[in-house]
Structure 1
Amino acid sequence: MSEWKELTNESQTRWDGIAEFWDNYMGEQSNRFHREIVRPKTEELLTVNEGQIILDIACGNGNFSRRLADLGAEVVAFDYSAKMIERAELRSKDYLNRIKYQVVDATNYDSLIELGTERYDGAVANMALMDIADITSLTRALQQLLKKNGVFVFSIPHPCFQAPNTRKIHETEEINGEIVTRNSVQISKYLSPEPIETIGIRGQPVSHILFHRPLSYYVKLFLSANFVLDGWEEPNFQKDEDSNKRFDWYELPPAVIFRFKKL
């Protein structure tokens, strides 16, 4: 089983409960992970042009929606958390002529179709599909929402390296008089889809539900819906002066970003 639609309400309730915390943490510019890992390659794969209409799926507090508007797009952005949308609108007062925010459940096919068939040049979901209990309705709807040759770009935590029960290991060893550090991950499961409770940001009031799926699941799902995979990135952090003091993802990609094109 890779879809858990019965958990949608529970997932939504938890995100409403942590919306304020996440918004305060992410702020206007979001965190380092989004700035260095997610945004650059997402923008590269999406290739936004002036005047395009872009659908921002599970938009959170609207950080990337505003970036899309800055790039010249007209944006329709939605999230199933009404509190997240409230936060997004508060932060987007200077963008309301370019961004339309809505509360929409991405597991509800009929609600998605109401956003407009063959209206969008592209769609994007930044670090979101793993938080959606059932993505089959979204996949079917995107085939209707996108224009011909429209693209859908989405990022998720890399399921090969951030599978359930993954251990992150940071080792320091002296070799021939030099201090050598190594980062590695230890995993015991990957192929079996499962929902897990997780803490995305230390200190968040309650955990949220992450829906782990292997890479093959995403690829097969979109190919079966008449999309073609024509872009793929596995971004990593670049080493800096603090890299030897912490676990950092400079050889292991913490996220994977896909681009699927509508046939």
Structure 2
Amino acid sequence: MGEWKELTAPSQERWNEIAGFWDDFMGEHSNRFHREIVRPKTEELLAPQEGQQILDIACGNGNFSRRLAGLGVKVTAIDYSSNMIDRAVGRSSAYEGNISYKVVDATKSEELLALGEGSFDGAVANMALMDIADLSGLLEALPRMLKPNGSVVFSIPHPCFQSPNTRRIHESEDVGGRVVTRNSVQVSSYLQPEPMESIGVKGQPVAHYVFHRPLHYYIHLFVRAGFVLDGLEEPAFAYDAARAERFDWYELPPAVIFRFRKLA
């Protein structure tokens, strides 16, 4: 349990429906979560080098693809939402020749392998694998697509702290004449993989599917495919007193970022 092939098509339909809304929201520079939580540690683990060939899986509107291209990387950027790819292309005219956008379903190994076996120095998936209903095709293809010693870096919402039905709690207390605030989460399920519908951005036209899987699920999946885990980060926001009156992710990491390296 942990893969839901029957939800691939419905998930794709919903991402096509909300692509324009998400692109407008993320804009040219993405949101605070991606800028401060996802991007810095992802770049650190990926360590992109000029001239490398990198696969950007589920690239969305291409924010990270353009970042990589700006560092001199040759990017193949894929997404199964044709509407999202159209939006990404529309934002990337300045990077023509450095980014190749393609509509590819990452659940289908044959579509992935058509991009080239042994062609990529690395692959990245920013906050995307939890949106993919069936990861088996991706893990079948990735070892064959990467060059020797190639790595995959991916981020997901931290499943320990953002599992289904998690409640976010913000409390304040007067302690000795000083107001003390605390953030916490209440978790009632974690181990059982399950699909759920989610509103990732307030106001999006329809909910999209998110597929909760515990940490060990991802580790076992990649190890069985011939990878070794050699990097892990759990970033959180730096404390900001201006935001202390509402919940924010300080001591609790909202995301986890993995680096798996191909063994041979």
Fold equivalence (TM over 0.5): yes
2:217 aligns with: 217
Pair 1:246-2:260 in alignment: no
Counterparts of 1:237 and 1:113, CA distance in 2? 37
SS of the residue aligned with 2:93?
Answer: coil
SS of the residue aligned with 2:257?
Answer: strand
Q: Higher mean Cα deviation, 44-53 or 239-248?
A: 239-248
Pair 1:40-2:40 in alignment: yes
Q: Which amino acid aligns with 2:58?
A: A
Q: Deviations over 1:67-126 (max 9, x none)?
A: 000111000000000000000000001112100000000000100100100000000000
Counterparts of 2:202 and 2:242, CA distance in 1? 20
Pair 1:49-2:49 in alignment: yes
Residue 152 of structure 1 deviates from its aligned partner by 0.2
Counterparts of 1:23 and 1:105, CA distance in 2? 19
Residue 198 of structure 1 deviates from its aligned partner by 0.4
Indicate the RMSD between aligned Cα atoms, in angstroms: 0.5
Q: Percent identity?
A: 67
Residue 240 of structure 1 deviates from its aligned partner by 1.2
1:261 aligns with: 261
1:81 aligns with: 81
Q: Which amino acid aligns with 1:98?
A: N
Counterparts of 2:53 and 2:189, CA distance in 1? 40
1:67 aligns with: 67
Q: Which runs of 5+ in 2 are unaligned?
A: none
Pair 1:12-2:12 in alignment: yes
1:219-234 to 2 correspondence within 5 Å?
A: 219-234=219-234
2:177 aligns with: 177
Q: Deviations over 1:32-71 (max 9, x none)?
A: 0000000000000000001000000000000000000011
Residue 244 of structure 1 deviates from its aligned partner by 1.2
Pair 1:161-2:161 in alignment: yes
Counterparts of 1:112 and 1:226, CA distance in 2? 17
Residue 156 of structure 1 deviates from its aligned partner by 0.1
1:145 aligns with: 145
Pair 1:200-2:200 in alignment: yes
User: Structure 1 runs of 4+ off > 6 angstroms?
Assistant: none
Counterparts of 1:18 and 1:83, CA distance in 2? 9
SS of the residue aligned with 1:7?
Answer: helix
Residue 137 of structure 1 deviates from its aligned partner by 1.0
2:110 aligns with: 110
Counterparts of 1:251 and 1:71, CA distance in 2? 31
Residue 243 of structure 1 deviates from its aligned partner by 2.9
2:95 aligns with: 95
Counterparts of 1:96 and 1:129, CA distance in 2? 27
Counterparts of 1:181 and 1:241, CA distance in 2? 10
Pair 1:3-2:36 in alignment: no
Q: Higher mean Cα deviation, 204-213 or 235-244?
A: 235-244
Q: Deviations over 1:204-224 (max 9, x none)?
A: 000000000000000001001
1:31 aligns with: 31
Pair 1:21-2:1 in alignment: no
How many residue pairs get matched? 263
1:188 aligns with: 188
Counterparts of 1:90 and 1:137, CA distance in 2? 29
SS of the residue aligned with 1:245?
Answer: coil
Q: Which amino acid aligns with 1:157?
A: P
Residue 241 of structure 1 deviates from its aligned partner by 2.6
Q: Which runs of 5+ in 1 are unaligned?
A: none
Residue 245 of structure 1 deviates from its aligned partner by 1.2
Counterparts of 2:31 and 2:68, CA distance in 1? 17
SS of the residue aligned with 1:106?
Answer: coil
